[in-house]
Amino acid sequence: MSTESYTITSLTSKGMGLAHAADGPVYVPFALPGETVAVARVGNEGTVISYGPPSPDRIQPACRHFGPEGKGGTCGGCSLQHQAKPAYNAYKRDLLINALKSKGIDAPVGDLIEAQPHQRRRLVFTVRRPEKALVIGINQAETHHVVPVEECPIASDGLISRLDALHIIARATGHDMFRITVTETLTGLDISMDGLRSGLGERERRAVTEAVMGLRGIARVSANGEIVVEPHKPQLDFDGACVIIPPGAFTQATREAEEAMAKLAIEHIGKAKRVADLFAGIGTFALRIGRKASVHAVESEERAVKALDQAARMTQGLKPVTVERRDLFRRPMTPQELKVYDAVIFDPPRAGAEAQSAELARSQVKRIVAVSCNPLTLARDLAILAKGGYRIKSVIPVDQFLWSPHVEAVALLEK
């Protein structure tokens, strides 16, 4: 280990300060462009010992768990709380611009749709019992150390105010190491526990059930995908369509970002009469679009398909909404199948939709909406579509993951 000083030139795609040494790049967490920092260096990574004059873009972090000065440890959930809003927004937008440029795409990129504190309705916690006391928190970056979370300015008040309930339920499992995904729903918290190595025995299931029945505001608790206790069906509202979400189902992290992305999609497809929603999940887009057009929703996860189908059947005022269980990575929809649709929306996992984009590029679908949480795979997919004759009207960055180096995007294309 050596102690050296560097001037930060930019931020990396992971939100770390980047400096250039004679032997290569040096990555420094919590440093900002223009700052000179003294770091303890190991390999190409540096830990800040002291700062020179602070950047004019440096602000006071919103959370006690943030940064090298984090009280009780540095939570790995945020990396950019110390950056002022204008520079932060520009950084997020540049992540998308640079990804597009890497694939030779010169498309209009809109202003960032901003996130605000206390909007996150879904968080993943780590549970550990290092000694006698059970700890619920978030891993420190690049380590297995769990930082006990006492506050979280990105989380909704309804979620973070129930940390006491999470402790009670976690202790009832009798397990020392697992993950908890918590989603705030209309009917209470949906708590999904995963990584319980031996599952829950009858005694533990009874203890968890008794704990939950003595608490308020808990909709459901599941363990390794199986429901343990369900006082209420956990529901989300998609423009009047109430979806009972399956245990551990993917949901957009914030309602505000979800609604902004849906609005962009609906405006772009315009008067389309038939729409295909690919990688449809539990119906985030399909059920909203169903107010205006008939929708065929395609998704590979069985429980998500069933939840979407049930919601469509139970919701009045929708155009026909059909569902299909299908692995679009292995068996993408072909141009022949797509020819009956006026518009397509696709929202794949981080790996993107390379195979489906290749089929879409050969189709004559008039309008496409591409949604992605990974600018690099989005850029790859857009390049495929552009080569097939699609014009990228605009790409809009959406800050669904506040103070992180992640950005969502919605691309609008037409042929």
279 is in an annotated binding site: yes
How far is Cα of residue 177 from the mean position of the Cα atoms in its chain? 23
Contact 407, 375 (CB under 8 A): yes
CA distance 85 to 164: 32
Question: Considering only CA atoms, which of 412, 413, 409, 414 is closest in space to residue 98?
Answer: 409
Annotated catalytic residue: which of 63, 75, 152, 373? Answer: 373
- The per-residue b/e assignment along 326-365, b for 16 or more CB within 10 angstroms, e otherwise, is eebbeebbeeeebeebbbbbbbbeeebbeebbebbbebeb
Question: Considering only CA atoms, which of 196, 78, 48 is closest in space to residue 138?
Answer: 78
284 Cβ contact partners less than 8 Å away, ≥ 6 residues apart: 238, 251, 252, 258, 262, 347
Strand pairing category for 367-372 and 343-346: parallel
Contact 180, 124 (CB under 8 A): yes
CA distance 312 to 242: 9
346 is in an annotated binding site: no
SS3 5: strand
Question: Could you tell me how many residues make up the chain?
Answer: 415
How is residue 201 written in tokens? 């025995």
DSSP 185-252: ETTEEEEEEE--TT---HHHHHHHHHHHHTSSSEEEEEETTEEEE-SS--EEEETTEEEEPPTT----
Question: Considering only CA atoms, which of 198, 306, 154, 191 is closest in space to residue 244?
Answer: 306
Annotation marks residue 242 as catalytic: no
Contact 232, 217 (CB under 8 A): no
Binding-site residue ranges: 252, 279, 299, 347
Which of the residues are catalytic?
373
Annotated binding site for S-adenosyl-L-methionine: 252, 279, 299, 347
